[in-house]
């Protein structure tokens, strides 16, 4: 699992949350949300991170972006270790990593016009002149397929798909190299989902972006991702180039996920083996079952 040219490299990342209950909020143990995750994201590529709700996907993204601090583990970005950087040292890197969310409402301030929301990033990117800022805002809107007039409107005036486009324009405003997409289409109408996915693909080709694409929709993942990592209870179970993973899934949990959806890329999958009740992923290690195809066993 070593990619020397990775843009982002995550090693043995761990994060637990205290579970508190009752009036006194007594601590009742901890949830091991992320329990030793390894990831590599290559330049201009998309890594899919899949797994059922609660397995720790969003926590991984938040740890990478430093919205949360890890308990342990290492994160390298563009060859440099960023795990222990202080806020000041991390600041220039923050521009290079952006996130888009399931609900763009969480990244768009409802009281700011689109121009104001995107304008923040444009200023951070170093464009000081007002006229040049406006031109850049309109250029970014054009890149995501929105008319220039939308700049003076508010988020509530748009449909979900349009709002997601604005969210993408806002993420692009600082010229990032990596975008963490956390279920970016799950809240959208099915008819709109493909448009947003194709937009993300086109932007990747045009700008050479890397994506971490978090999703539970395996059909979408098989379409957009170059490489896929399957996560279960805070750990990666299987990791392989997308085609390899979908054509020859090896881990019982991957089979279980795949059997829950219409077969992807043709070909039926073997019936899913139920996961053993005693199955403890921590007792297993990642093994390279075929070149480039890693499985926990």
| Interacting residues with Mg ion (CB under 5 A) | 58
Q: Using an 8 Å Cβ cutoff, are 66 and 147 in contact? A: no
Rg, Å, the chain Cα set:
20
Report yes or no: 193 and 216 within 8 Å, Cβ to Cβ.
Answer: no
Site for ligand ADP contains 33 (CB under 6 A): yes
Q: Any bridge partners for residue 213, and if so which?
A: 48, 181
Q: In what order do the strands lie in the sheet with 227-232?
A: 97-100, 178-182, 210-215, 46-50, 227-232, 235-241, 293-296, 286-290
Could you tell me the two tokens for 127?
Answer: 């464009």
**Nearer of residues 56 and 252 to ligand ADP, judged by Cβ:** 56
Nearest residue by C-beta to Mg ion?
A: 58
> Rounded CA gap, 202 and 143, in Å?
10
CA 277 to chain centroid, in Å, comes to 29
Binding-site size for ligand ADP (CB under 6 A) equals 11
Considering only 29, 54, 208, 270, the residue that binds ligand ADP (CB under 6 A) is 54
Task: From the list Mg ion, ligand ADP, none, pick the one residue 292 interacts with, judged by a Cβ distance below 5 to 8 Å according to partner type.
Answer: none
Residue 98 in the binding site for ligand ADP (CB under 6 A): no
Report what 54 binds from Mg ion, ligand ADP, none; CB cut-off 5-8 Å by kind.
ligand ADP
Binding to ligand ADP by residue 59, rule CB under 6 A? yes
Indicate the residue among 12 and 81 with the shorter CB distance to ligand ADP.
12
If the CB atoms of residues 63 and 114 are measured against Mg ion, the closer one turns out to be 63
Contacting range for ligand ADP; rule: CB under 6 A; set: 52-60, 74-82, 118-126, 140-148: 52-60
Closest CA to 49 of 290, 292, 239: 239
Q: What is residue 105's DSSP assignment?
A: G
Residue 148 touching ligand ADP (CB under 6 A): no
In the complex, which residues of this chain contact ligand ADP (CB under 6 A)?
17, 31, 33, 51, 53-59
């Amino acid at each position: 699992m070593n990619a020397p040219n990775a843009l982002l490299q995550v090693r043995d990342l761990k994060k637990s949350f205290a579970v508190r209950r009752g009036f006194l909020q007594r601590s009742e143990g901890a949830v091991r949300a992320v329990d030793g995750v390894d990831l590599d994201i290559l330049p201009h590529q998309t890594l899919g991170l899949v797994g059922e709700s609660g397995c720790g996907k969003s926590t991984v993204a938040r740890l990478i972006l430093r919205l949360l601090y890890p308990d342990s583990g290492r994160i390298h970005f563009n060859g440099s270790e960023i795990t222990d950087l202080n806020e000041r040292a991390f600041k220039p890197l923050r521009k290079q990593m952006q996130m888009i969310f399931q609900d763009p409402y969480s990244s768009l301030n409802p009281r700011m016009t689109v121009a104001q929301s995107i304008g923040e990033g444009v200023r951070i990117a170093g464009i000081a002149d007002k006229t040049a800022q406006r031109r850049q805002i309109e250029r970014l809107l054009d890149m995501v397929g929105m008319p220039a007039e939308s700049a003076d409107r508010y988020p509530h005036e748009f449909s979900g798909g349009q709002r997601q486009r604005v969210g993408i324009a806002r993420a692009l405003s600082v010229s990032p190299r990596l975008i963490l997409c956390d279920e970016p289409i799950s809240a959208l109408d099915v008819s709109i989902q493909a448009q947003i996915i194709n937009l993300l693909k086109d932007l990747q080709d045009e700008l050479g972006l890397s994506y971490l694409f978090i999703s539970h929709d395996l059909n979408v993942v098989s379409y957009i991702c170059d490489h896929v990592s399957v996560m279960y209870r805070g750990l990666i179970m299987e990791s392989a180039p997308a085609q390899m993973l979908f054509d020859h899934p090896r881990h019982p949990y991957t089979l279980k996920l795949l059997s829950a959806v219409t077969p992807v890329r043709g070909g039926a999958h073997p019936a899913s083996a139920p996961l053993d009740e005693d199955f403890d992923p921590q007792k297993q290690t990642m093994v390279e079952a075929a070149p480039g195809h890693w499985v926990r066993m």
